[in-house]
């Protein structure tokens, strides 16, 4: 199974077909003991619902190795939160499912004795995903991973720049743009998902979990803490295996995902994307676009030049702006306090907010 979803590529604004499509509960069946009815459609038994940059990819990779677990080849189908998908249609293979039939086909190969799952981290911040999942699988298990808010948003911002969602590479300036962006201003024209630019919305942890607890009983919702996961991969994964009721004696192999690089030259990154899109559109077009495409220079993808080409836009990430991080922690301390009370765990101390005044 792939370690992560394929990079997004786009050809221009396109409404997501099926974004408001109602999900019919009877259309999908799933999980043990109903798994033999795969031909009629199978839905996942569990969902890793988020957050981004909180270890969801590492968890997906580790669970996919378990013989009693089947993870969809597309890590993030995003079927139940189509309103938060990219505004731009993907080109080539790997297009995300838009219909129940397409979605259920992702799990058709799961055996009857396997738990099927997927990991779309946008589900946690979606206002409607919890209800949509519950309509299809009221017995589903839900896994959420939360991270200290300021470090989470810093990492998420860098991911947004990499994914062509954000063009402001300075984290402090990106945070400062949020009021204007709430009014529809300063949205990059090729931003895949403008709602992602409302950074403070991502750390409304209590509201996000309440949406799931409103439609799933507490025993079906597992909340993990990213810092626990980082400190002890094995113990965290074993808690997930117990939650999913599969063999927890299985040997857990820790996974370290690739660290994001900093963006050294955003125009170069955007130019590379533009050329890639132009080539794909030309290849899919008529004789004239293909002829023009043949005249465009192509840099090697392998060897020394290929490595140079791939690495040109990137550099080391900027060190954290400690004054900004302190400001964000002061801002989000009430949310951390509320989350501590909601979960019955002292996250204020764990995340270092006890010394913040």
pLDDT, tens digit, for every residue of 142-162? 999 999 999 999 999 999 988
- Report residue 250: phi and psi, to 5°: -55, 140
pLDDT in tens, 230-264: 999 999 999 999 999 999 999 998 887 766 655 54
β-pairing, 88-90 vs 46-50, is: unpaired
What is the structure's pLDDT at 207? Answer: 98
What is the structure's pLDDT at 305? Answer: 42
Q: What is the pLDDT of the chain when averaged over all its residues? A: 81
Residues in the chain: 357
β-pairing, 88-90 vs 10-13, is: antiparallel
The candidate with the shortest Cα–Cα distance to 19, out of 89, 100, 81, 108, is: 81
- Report residue 323: phi and psi, to 5°: -70, -40
For residue 259, give Cα distances in angstroms to 47, 248, 316: 24, 28, 10
Angle between helices 149-162 and 322-343 (to 10 degrees): 120
Of residues 169 and 291, more confidence is placed in: 169
User: Residues of CATH 3.40.50.300 domain(s) within the chain?
Assistant: 10-156+200-244
What is the structure's pLDDT at 1? Answer: 38
Contact 174, 157 (CB under 8 A): yes
Share of the chain above pLDDT 90, in %: 62
What is the structure's pLDDT at 165? Answer: 87
Give me the mean pLDDT over the 114-131 stretch.
Answer: 97
Of residues 52 and 255, more confidence is placed in: 52
pLDDT in tens, 277-329: 555 555 555 565 555 555 555 555 555 544 444 444 556 677 899 999 999 99
The candidate with the shortest Cα–Cα distance to 45, out of 121, 107, 88, is: 107
β-pairing, 115-119 vs 262-263, is: unpaired
pLDDT in tens, 33-42: 333 233 357 9
The candidate with the shortest Cα–Cα distance to 252, out of 267, 240, 265, 268, is: 240
Task: Give the CA-trace dihedral at 246, 250, 251, 257, to 10 degrees.
Answer: -20
Distance CA 79, CA 255 (A): 26
Assigned CATH class of 10-156+200-244: alpha beta
Distance CA 295, CA 299 (A): 13
């Amino acid at each position: 199974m792939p370690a992560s979803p394929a990079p997004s590529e786009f050809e221009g604004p396109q409404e997501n077909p099926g974004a408001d499509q109602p999900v019919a509960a009877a259309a999908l069946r799933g999980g043990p003991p109903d798994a033999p009815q795969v031909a009629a459609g199978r839905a996942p038994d569990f969902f890793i619902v988020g957050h981004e940059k909180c270890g969801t990819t590492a968890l997906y990779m580790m669970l996919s190795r378990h013989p009693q677990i089947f993870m969809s080849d597309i890590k993030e189908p995003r079927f139940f939160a189509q309103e938060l998908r990219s505004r731009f249609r993907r080109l080539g293979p790997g297009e995300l499912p838009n219909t129940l039939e397409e979605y259920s086909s992702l799990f058709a190969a799961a055996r009857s004795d396997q738990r099927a799952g997927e990991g779309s981290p946008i589900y946690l911040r979606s206002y409607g995903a919890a209800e949509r999942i519950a309509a299809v699988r009221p017995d589903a298990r839900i896994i959420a991973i939360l991270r200290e808010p300021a470090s989470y948003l810093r990492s998420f911002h860098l991911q947004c720049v990499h994914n062509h969602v954000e063009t402001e590479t300075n984290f402090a300036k990106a945070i400062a743009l949020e009021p204007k962006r709430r009014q529809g201003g300063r949205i990059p024209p090729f931003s895949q998902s403008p709602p992602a630019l409302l950074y403070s919305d991502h750390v409304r942890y209590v509201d996000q979990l309440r949406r799931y607890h409103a439609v799933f009983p507490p025993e079906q919702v597992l909340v993990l803490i990213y810092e626990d996961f980082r400190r002890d991969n094995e113990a965290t994964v074993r808690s997930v295996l117990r939650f999913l009721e599969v063999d927890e004696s299985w040997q857990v192999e820790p996974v370290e995902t690739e660290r994001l690089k900093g963006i050294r030259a955003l125009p170069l990154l955007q130019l590379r994307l533009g050329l890639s899109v132009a080539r794909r559109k030309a290849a899919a077009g008529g004789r004239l676009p293909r002829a023009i495409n043949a005249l465009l220079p192509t840099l090697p993808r392998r060897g020394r030049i290929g490595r140079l080409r791939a690495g040109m836009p990137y550099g080391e990430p900027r060190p954290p702006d400690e004054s900004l991080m302190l400001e964000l922690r002061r801002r989000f301390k009430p949310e951390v306090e509320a989350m501590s009370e909601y979960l019955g765990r002292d996250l204020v101390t764990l995340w270092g907010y006890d010394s913040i005044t």
